[in-house]
Structure 1
Amino acid sequence: MQLVYAFDAYCGWSHGFSPTLREVVSRHPDLPVQVISGGLFTGSRRVPIREFGYVQGANSQIAELTGAEFGEGYNRLIADGSFVMDSEDAARGVAALRRMAPDRAAELAGALQRTFYVDGLSLSEPATYRKVAEEVGLDADTVVSAFDSPEAYDTAADDFRRCAELGVTGFPTLLGVDGDRVAVLAHGRATVDEVDRRLAPLS
């Protein structure tokens, strides 16, 4: 069995779930973890953040319920409402980082979300991935090159397709996958103990 974590790097609830995921992975070192990106802000949803009027209210709720940090850099980035979240770019970045260290995918997803939600760096900029790579000890030039490669677009599309095939309807979603068996361990929010209780019958 493996854990499959479907998230979107531009999803605040995924940011809030990062500590839970980290603890689940820590408790179950024997379970491989696959991290796949969703396409939350693609197509017609790739618009200035001001068009999502609920963002600030949702972030306050996320912070209250999960303890997630929304930093000054992030607040400055979205202050005038013109910033555009592009989930395809974010998925390309996740793919570039994941390719370098697939066994650290969950850790890298969390690091990338902190870079946006705390530092306020766009996930469409190659420099953002250089910074993350350097901070986590990966070869920055290779990561940036992978982010800019044509293959990254294909990998992002593969991730979006995999989310759909698994029946993921929102982010974050943590699944236990064993062959054709797919069990939902967390959707939106869950404690580590709740995940463990749902995981126990599958082990």
Structure 2
Amino acid sequence: MMQEKPKLIYVYDALCGWCYGFSAVMHSLFEKYHHQFDFEVISGGMVLGDRQGPISESAELIKSHYPKVQETSGAIFGDAFLAVLNEGSQFQSSEKPAIALCVFKSFEPHKVVLFAHDIQIAKFIDGIDLNIDDNYLPLISNYNISEKEFLEKLKSEEYKQNAYYDFALARQLQVSGYPAAFIQTSERNFYMITKGYSDLATMELRVENVLKETAKA
């Protein structure tokens, strides 16, 4: 039985270049379908534990991949980000941006796709260090959110635990690479609509196919 409103679940990581390439696609899906779906964004936790470290440790890998992301998606990696990549010292960790996403959801859960997009623009165009709490304040300026409350929550253990719950949920959904997206039509019924990057036309087709299938049920 179909639930009242299906949910479109986007599993991403703030540090994932292919998610940045896919970000505009998700933004467009949100604009088109936000009346038909509840949208959820889950952080996958791509860079945690011993994967954390200065960006220099993954710089060669990033340099080998980002031109392909640009070519495939049209998303541009900014000069400020490339300067950070070449300088090499910025610390890479998925933890703080995942906490920030959970904090944002406590204020504006229905706009979480937009905020995930904002985080990735800050990272991959402006080269912003996502480990620094105050760097999120310009990102929330477009939303009706108290800076003081946002920073307090960003420092709290509760929202750190929420972020790690999201990481566990991504594993439960058997996501091993990003981006990934699902449509959930009931408690146990999930349709995977992308595993890796897909363009907007492909995503719209898959969403429409799920809507047609569930309408028959």
TM-score higher than 0.5: yes
The count of corresponding residues between Structure 1 and Structure 2 is 203
Say whether 1:56 aligns with 2:63: yes
TM-score by length of 2: 0.89
| Secondary structure at 2:42 match in 1 | strand
| Secondary structure at 1:124 match in 2 | coil
Q: Would the aligned equivalents of 2:182 and 2:194 in 1 still touch at CA under 8 Å?
A: yes
**Partner Cα separation in structure 1 for residue 70 and residue 151 of structure 2:** 31
Q: Give, as a single letter, the amino acid of the residue that structure 2 aligns with 1:180.
A: R
Q: Would the aligned equivalents of 1:14 and 1:172 in 2 still touch at CA under 8 Å?
A: yes
Q: Give, as a single letter, the amino acid of the residue that structure 2 aligns with 1:48.
A: P
Give the aligned partner of residue 8 of structure 1.
Answer: 13
**Partner Cα separation in structure 2 for residue 95 and residue 123 of structure 1:** 14
The 4+ residue runs of structure 1 with deviation greater than 6 A are: none
Q: Give, as a single letter, the amino acid of the residue that structure 2 aligns with 1:190.
A: S
Q: Would the aligned equivalents of 2:91 and 2:131 in 1 still touch at CA under 8 Å?
A: no
Q: Give, as a single letter, the amino acid of the residue that structure 1 aligns with 2:75.
A: A
Q: Would the aligned equivalents of 1:22 and 1:106 in 2 still touch at CA under 8 Å?
A: yes
Q: Would the aligned equivalents of 1:20 and 1:191 in 2 still touch at CA under 8 Å?
A: yes
Which structure has the larger Rg?
Answer: 2
Say whether 1:200 aligns with 2:208: yes
Instruction: Note the aligned Cα RMSD (angstroms).
Output: 1.3
1:180 aligned to 188, 193, 201, which one? 188
Give the aligned partner of residue 107 of structure 2.
Answer: 100
Cα offset, 1:146, TM superposition: 1.4
1:27 aligned to 26, 32, 39, which one? 32
After TM superposition, the structure 1 = structure 2 runs for residues 1-203 of structure 1, keeping only pairs within 5 Å, are 1-29=6-34, 30-52=36-58, 53-178=60-185, 179-203=187-211
Unaligned runs of 5+ in 1: none
**Partner Cα separation in structure 2 for residue 68 and residue 136 of structure 1:** 24
Give the aligned partner of residue 214 of structure 2.
Answer: none
Cα offset, 1:68, TM superposition: 1.0
| Secondary structure at 2:22 match in 1 | helix
**Partner Cα separation in structure 1 for residue 65 and residue 153 of structure 2:** 33
Q: Give, as a single letter, the amino acid of the residue that structure 1 aligns with 2:194.
A: A
Unaligned runs of 5+ in 2: 1-5, 212-217
Which moves more between the two structures, 16-25 or 78-87? Answer: 78-87
| Secondary structure at 2:53 match in 1 | coil
Q: Would the aligned equivalents of 2:93 and 2:131 in 1 still touch at CA under 8 Å?
A: yes
TM-score by length of 1: 0.94
**Partner Cα separation in structure 2 for residue 196 and residue 21 of structure 1:** 10
Cα offset, 1:115, TM superposition: 0.8
**Partner Cα separation in structure 2 for residue 41 and residue 89 of structure 1:** 11
**Partner Cα separation in structure 1 for residue 144 and residue 135 of structure 2:** 14
Q: Would the aligned equivalents of 2:73 and 2:199 in 1 still touch at CA under 8 Å?
A: no
Give the aligned partner of residue 215 of structure 2.
Answer: none
Q: Would the aligned equivalents of 1:98 and 1:108 in 2 still touch at CA under 8 Å?
A: no
Q: Give, as a single letter, the amino acid of the residue that structure 1 aligns with 2:23.
A: S
Cα offset, 1:139, TM superposition: 2.2
